[in-house]
Structure formats: structure tokens, C-alpha cells
Amino acid sequence: MVKRHHALLKRLPDVHKDLHYLREEIRKMEAGSRGENRILKKLAEVRLPGQIKIFSDVRLELGDWKVQIDCLLVTDRCCIILESKNFSDDLFIDTDSEEFYKIDKKGEEISLPNPYFQLMKHIRFIKAYFQKELPNWNVIGAVIMTAKSCRIRKKPIHYPFYQLESMNEKVIQMYNQSNSPPLSSKQLQTIEQVILTEQFTFSYPPLCEFYRISPTELIAGVECPYCGVLGMKRNGKTWTCPSCKKNARDAHIQTVQEYFWLIKNEITNKEFRDFCKLDSIYSASRMLKNMNLHAHKGGAWRYYSPQ
């Protein structure tokens, strides 16, 4: 998703009203990704008496119920869910209302979605998902705060919110305190196979649709893979950059990919020419046919979609 957002950002004019918001969204996504990587790096140091399998970015569905779990630890005694959160500053959870908020460096109170409820939902999901095979499987978890500047100032005693520094010790404690009957190697292999083979891919809407940005607001043109300038010119069978003067034969392939990310999941010859700033209908047809795309016949028109 970060790559898609960068593609949108570079095609918006410098004065576009959504630029600041989009940059902040990208910052949050990149910070979240760094936090998840910190968790995985730290978990590599964990040593348990029994077996442990670590899965990241787990996407499972049970009917219409779909979840994305940051980190899933499958051990011979229990299943441990770890939710990564990159909140900074001083964090508070009201013990009565369970409202979650932070106080930033300016002293302002900012309300935040409470990750405890997300954790509980994911615990219920994993129990339901493996109910048939493992009706008594102990599924537990914790929320891990990955930002170095985060401090948990106040929380209910039953909230498993921990900072990254203490995560491994908490994982070991949860493992040691689990008194479920140990799983066999065969059962663990079955669980691993299920998690690896039954994951689904999220279907994201085009970003212009998601952010309600008109495609006409985008800057069209093929991007130079060398200097990043938009607006390469087609010369014979290659693209030439007007800025750095370098050539790239297949530069349009990334441009079409960005069209799918940003505008819609299908493209016609005319739409290809408009977005790539290409005049020749015949050159456009040849390039589209030579790409790894599905060709469809729609009435008098042919259109193309990703494989």
C-alpha cells in the first residue's frame, strides 16, 4: 500500500489540497511497517522449551469475517497474538470508560482507537477458526508499543499492553503460564500448513476512488526510471526522457500498473494513450498486447486488466 500511495503522491500537483494528508498517511504506514519489523527482529531472540512458529501479516477469513493479524506465534502450548502499535508520547487508558488517548508534546489530549478491542476480536477469531481441530487451544495475546518515544502512563490492570523492550519476557511468561495440553509435532505442522495455504489477498479499491480524487487531477505521463520525471516521449520502440535524455523501452509497464492502482482495474487503448501521453493507436495496441494482461472484448471495445 505504501508504494501505491507514493504513486498517487507523485502524480498530484504541488498545490493539491490532499497532499499534506496523504504524506501523513504514508508516514503512518511506514512507521507501522518499521514497528512490525522491530517486533520480528526482537522475536528472533526468543527461546522456548518447546516448538515455536512465527507468522507475520496473517490474513484469514471465516465466512464474511476477515482479519489481518500483525504477528502470530504458534507454540506447542498456546497461540500468542501480537498487535503492533506505533503510538508515540504519553498513553492513557481510562479505567472506567476504557477510552484510549495520548497527550502529545504540546500537552494536547488526542483520542485514539483502543487496540485492546482489536486484540480481543482477533483472539476470538483464532479460537473460532481452529475450533473444530483444537477446541481447547489456549489463544492469548498482547499489544506491543513499538515507538521508542512511547510511555504507557495509565491502563487497567488486565490490559496486556507492553513496550517492545519487555516483549520477549512477556512472551516467555505467557508460554510458561499456559497449562493447555501440549500439541504434537503433527498438530503444529497442520496448523502451520493451514496458516500458510488459507491466507487471502485483500482487494483494495483504486486510491482515487478511496480518497475521492478525480482522475483528471492526476499528472499523466510515463515516469523516467532513471530520474523520476513524468512525461517520457515515445521514439520508435523506446521511451526517451526529456530531462536526462536516457531511454527505457518498457517504461510504460509501471505506468499501467499505477493506472490500475490509482484509477481503475481495467484500461482501454484510449485510456492507455491518454495516461501515457501517446498519440499512436497502433503503438498503444502493440504495447498493451505485449504486456502480461488479460484481454477482454467489451462490445465494440477491447479492454485489458491485470492477470
**One domain for residues 16 and 149:** yes
Q: Is residue 212 part of a domain?
A: no
CATH number at residue 251: 1.10.10
Assess whether pLDDT exceeds 70 at residue 126: yes
pLDDT bracket for residue 250 (50, 70, 90):
very high
Report pTM: 0.83
Distance CA 54, CA 165 (A): 18
Assess whether pLDDT exceeds 80 at residue 155: yes
pLDDT in the model for residue 299: 65
> What is the pLDDT averaged over residues 262-285?
95
Pick the closest to residue 71 from 86, 59, 87, 82 (CA basis).
82
pLDDT in the model for residue 211: 96
Distance CA 99, CA 189 (A): 40
pLDDT bracket for residue 6 (50, 70, 90):
very high
- Neighbouring C-beta atoms of residue 299, cutoff 10 Å: 6
Assess whether pLDDT exceeds 80 at residue 215: yes
**One domain for residues 249 and 186:** no
**One domain for residues 232 and 280:** yes
> Per-residue pLDDT tens for 88-115?
889 999 988 999 999 988 888 999 999 9
Number of domain units in the chain? 2
Q: Is residue 138 part of a domain?
A: yes
**One domain for residues 192 and 229:** no
**One domain for residues 57 and 187:** yes
pLDDT in the model for residue 300: 65
> Per-residue pLDDT tens for 232-246?
999 999 999 999 999
Q: Is residue 202 part of a domain?
A: no
> Per-residue pLDDT tens for 31-66?
889 999 999 999 999 999 988 999 999 999 999 999
Distance CA 295, CA 25 (A): 34
Q: Is 89 left (phi over 0), alpha (psi -120 to 50) or beta?
A: left
Contacts of 229 (CB under 8 A, 6+ apart): 223, 241, 242, 243, 244
Q: Is residue 113 part of a domain?
A: yes
**One domain for residues 87 and 229:** no
> Per-residue pLDDT tens for 274-295?
999 999 999 999 999 999 899 9
Cα 101 from chain centre: 24
Q: What is the DSSP string of 55-72?
A: EEEEEEEETTEEEEEEEE
Q: Are 186 and 83 in contact (CB under 8 A)?
A: no
Distance CA 11, CA 8 (A): 5
Backbone phi, then psi, for 284, in 5-degree steps? -60, -45
Q: Is residue 211 part of a domain?
A: no
Q: Which domain holds residue 74?
A: 2-197
**One domain for residues 23 and 130:** yes
